[in-house]
Structures are given as C-alpha cells and as structure tokens.
Amino acid sequence: GAGVSQSPSNKVTEKGKDVELRCDPISGHTALYWYRQSLGQGLEFLIYFQGNSAPDKSGLPSDRFSAERTGGSVSTLTIQRTQQEDSAVYLCASSLNQGGEAFFGQGTRLTVV
Amino acid sequence: KQEVTQIPAALSVPEGENLVLNCSFTDSAIYNLQWFRQDPGKGLTSLLLIQSSQREQTSGRLNASLDKSSGRSTLYIAASQPGDSATYLCAVTSGNTGKLIFGQGTTLQVKP
C-alpha cells in the first residue's frame, strides 16, 4: 500500500484480556515508531525500531506491553492483561531511515471495558 | 533529555489572518524537525520537514523556519482559512537516539 496501515481501526476488549495491534509500514522504511495518545493528550512515545538494531523500548509503560517487528517490516504491539487506563489511540509511524520524514497510520482506537 | 514545547496551547483567529505557531526544543542535536497536522479523531499528516542543515521550508501557504542554535522553529500560516482548524504538532528527531519527540501541540481555530 501507499501509506502506513494499522489494524484493527477499533478494538473493544474486556479488562484482563490480551490484545494485539498491527502496523504495516511503508515498504522499504527501516524505522518504525509506536505512540499512544490518550483522550485530549499529546503523543506518548512507546517504542522505536531502526533496522536491525536493538529497539528503543524506553517508553513502554509496563512489562504488560511488548512489541516486535518481524523481518524488518510488519510490527505487532501486544498488551497483556489490559487495564482501563490502556484505553487510547495507538499510532504507528515509519520513515525511510533514521532522521527521515515520518508518516503516520490512522491509528487503532483501543477501548478497555 | 530532549524536551519540546509549543506555544500557545490554543489559538483562535478570524479568517484571513496570518499567524505564527512556535516550537522550542532543549537539545540542538537533532536530525530534523517536522510539523504535523492532526484533525479530531484522525492520525497525523506531515506538513513540512526541515533538515538540521536547512533554515526553512515552504509548502503553499505554510512556511516553517528552523534556528537550531537557539532551539526554535516557527510555522507561519498565511491567509488562514476555516479548513486550517486543527491541532498542529512539531516533533524533532533526536540526533542521539533517532527518536521522534513531540510537543504538546497548538490547537488552532479559524473562525469564518
């Protein structure tokens, strides 16, 4: 596809369940970012992948959050034992390389009930 | 630690006015600075990217400047229109970590 694609666009889950959010970056982009945006708030950095380097996980809020990027392309953000405070829009972005222009997907709106 | 600040947090102007949004950052070691637009309930749309070696970039009615040494950028919007109403975010790519670090945004309302 032409842009960054995220799925699902909306996800409602029960408290305590695990969820997986998917991000398909622009083909050939080596850098991939995950952010979280709570209602009315700014963007909170979660994790950054750059090529084959070890990811920067410094923004993950707890050990319930993890992310992987398979084959340097698709990324999955997993939240285990979801809590109500995990409710937010999760945004993914990619760029051609470190320091390149970043392009964002439309996000996944997660609601934990 | 890089911190990005945007002033003002909110701005309301009548249609047709020229306006300036401000962005400041604490660490001048950046790869680039990028301005985004976010409409309610939507993702981010890239507006302008300024590399660290550049002073400004222009796209249509938008002009962004960068003064890396003083840690400042401005986004100038000429002849504002109601369709420009949105939240504008600036972000710097850290030269040390490669991370994209955002300000809190300026919410702009242009009244007809």
pLDDT of chain A along its 113 residues, tens only?
Answer: 579 999 999 999 999 999 999 999 999 999 999 999 998 788 999 999 998 889 999 999 999 999 999 887 999 999 999 999 999 999 999 999 888 899 999 999 999 99
Instruction: Among B44, B99, B103, select the one facing A45 at the smallest CB separation.
Output: B99
For residue A44, the distance in angstroms to the closest alpha carbon of chain B comes to 8
Rounded mean pLDDT, B51-65: 96
Put residue B41 in one of left, alpha, beta given phi > 0 → left and psi -120 to 50 → alpha.
Answer: left
pLDDT reported for residue A74: 96
Instruction: Among A35, A98, A107, select the one facing B98 at the smallest CB separation.
Output: A98
pLDDT reported for residue A42: 86
Rounded mean pLDDT, B54-79: 96
